[in-house]
Structure 1
Amino acid sequence: MSVIESRLAELGVTLPDAPAPAANYVPYVQSGNLVFVSGQISMRDGAFITGKLGDDMATEEGAAAAKTCAIALLAQLKAACGGDIDRLVRVVKLTGFVNSTPDYTEQPKVINGASDFLVEALGDKGRHSRSAVSAAALPLGVAVEIEAIFEIA
């Protein structure tokens, strides 16, 4: 088991198989030593985590949904690295989209669910730049979608 996967196991997390793309795009693209991972949507146990922040979902629930996106991002990274996730040098950037009402302003707190998890799991390698933005709607009504850029060896 890799060093990163051992740390994830300590946190009670097992990486799932990388989700297949749902349309005409690829789940990730490698350019040089950067891996660009397509947006991963909030899912738990094969079911979509849906809801609108500021309406029928609390900030804490949104943060938990964002964590599931981060786990899916790591699963895609593992696939991009041919199964050797320890090639990760660092998380470079996250862009998080939060399905929220026009007056909701806690998007950063929602995306903290992903950011905090990545730092907890990866230490300094998990520290990244980030954007957290509101969306009037997201695919399939999911609460959160996050894309990422990773640097690999």
Structure 2
Amino acid sequence: MGVFETKLAEMGITLPEAPAPAANYVPYVKVGDMVYVSGQIPSGPDGLIIGKLGDTMDVESGAEAAKACAIALLAQVKAACDGDLDRLVKVVKLTGFVNSTLEFTEQPQVINGASNLFGDALGEVGQHARAAVSAPSLPFGVAVEIDGVFQVK
């Protein structure tokens, strides 16, 4: 087990197998030293994490959903690196979509669930640029979807 996966294990996190795509696309594309990971949706022990922020879900629960997306993103990066997550050089950019009501304005706090995981588990490698935006609905009714750009070696 490498440095990053050891740190994740210390945090109580084991990366799952990279999730399969839900439609006609690939989970990631490698171009040179960059990996573009398709949007990942949150899954927990009971299945998909469903909800609408500002209605059926609070910010803390939304942040947990974003954390689940971050774990799925890392699983995809690991798959793109032939099983060696330590080839990750930098989390470059995340785009987080939050299933929320028109009145909800705390999208950044929700996506912090992913950003905090990357910072805590990866240190400086996990510091990234980011967007956090609202969406009136997301696939399968999930609370959050996040895609990412990563630099690898």
Question: Pairwise mapping of residues 41-80 of structure 1 onto structure 2 (< 5 A)?
Answer: 41-45=41-45, 47-80=47-80
Q: Residue 74 of structure 1: CA displacement?
A: 0.2
Q: Residue 82 of structure 1: CA displacement?
A: 0.4
Name the aligned partner's letter for residue 106 of structure 1: E
Number of residues paired by the alignment? Answer: 153
The equivalent of 1:99 in structure 2 is: 99
Name the aligned partner's letter for residue 14 of structure 1: T
Encode CA deviations 1:75-125: one digit per residue, 9 max, x unaligned. 000000000110000100000000000010000000000001100000000
Equivalent residue of 1:125, what SS?
A: helix
Percent sequence identity over matched residues? 65
Measure the CA separation in 2 of the matches of 1:20 and 1:104.
31
Encode CA deviations 1:44-64: one digit per residue, 9 max, x unaligned. 026010000000100000001
The equivalent of 2:147 in structure 1 is: 147
Name the aligned partner's letter for residue 104 of structure 1: F
Structure 1: runs of 5 or more not aligned: none
Measure the CA separation in 2 of the matches of 1:140 and 1:48.
8
Moved over 2 A (4+): none
Measure the CA separation in 2 of the matches of 1:68 and 1:85.
17
Structure 2: runs of 5 or more not aligned: none
Encode CA deviations 1:110-148: one digit per residue, 9 max, x unaligned. 000000110000000000000000000000000000000
Q: Residue 22 of structure 1: CA displacement?
A: 1.2
RMSD (Å) for aligned C-alpha atoms = 0.6
Measure the CA separation in 2 of the matches of 1:48 and 1:79.
21
Measure the CA separation in 1 of the matches of 2:27 and 2:147.
10
Measure the CA separation in 2 of the matches of 1:41 and 1:114.
12
Is 1:110 matched up with 2:74? no
Measure the CA separation in 1 of the matches of 2:46 and 2:80.
22
The equivalent of 2:137 in structure 1 is: 137
